[in-house]
Amino acid sequence: MHVSGGQIGGQHQGCTPVREILAKIGDKWSILTIMMLSGGTRRFSELQRGIEGISQRMLTLTLRGLERDGLVMREVFPTIPPRVEYTLTPLGRSLQQPVTALGQWVTANLPEIDAARRRFDASAEDRAGS
């Protein structure tokens, strides 16, 4: 795989790892989890409260995936009840800038995106009614 002029090209085999990683870190729960952990170490319950709409199971799966990819470190403290904390690794911290930039892009362009969606939906309704 090669990158030139902002384009990713090359063999399909070379694109597979890129697709897999982008699919994992680019999903909404991973991005929101990374954003929460950008503020520092968090306990599971803090993450769940801070990420609106995420279920306990989905947060567990998201954290495991991020841990597996080396983006999040999980530390268990031998207390009763057990205390578990999650922290971004140096690799995970390297995602802070791109994730923040993506969030800022969405915020800046949301009105235009919403308008485009309304136009598209209205024209789709017109086409369906014809």
Structure letter (DSSP) for residue 1 = -
Tell me how far apart the alpha carbons of residues 2 and 32 are, in angstroms, rounded to a whole number: 30
User: What is the residue whose two structure tokens read 């989890």?
Assistant: 33
User: Two tokens at 46?
Assistant: 């803090």
Q: DSSP string spanning 12-31? A: HHHHHHHHHHHHHHTSHHHH
Domains of the chain: 2-94 (1.10.10.10)
Pick the closest to residue 48 from 63, 38, 68 (CA basis).
63
In whole angstroms, how far apart are CA 49 and each of 32, 88, 107? 12, 18, 22
Q: What is the pTM of this model?
A: 0.76
pLDDT tens sequence for the chain (130 residues) = 455 555 555 556 678 888 888 888 888 899 999 999 999 999 999 999 999 999 999 999 999 999 999 999 999 999 998 899 999 999 999 999 998 898 899 999 999 999 999 999 999 877 777 6
Determine the pLDDT at residue 8.
54
Please report where in the chains the tokens 């983006």 appear, as a residue.
Answer: 71
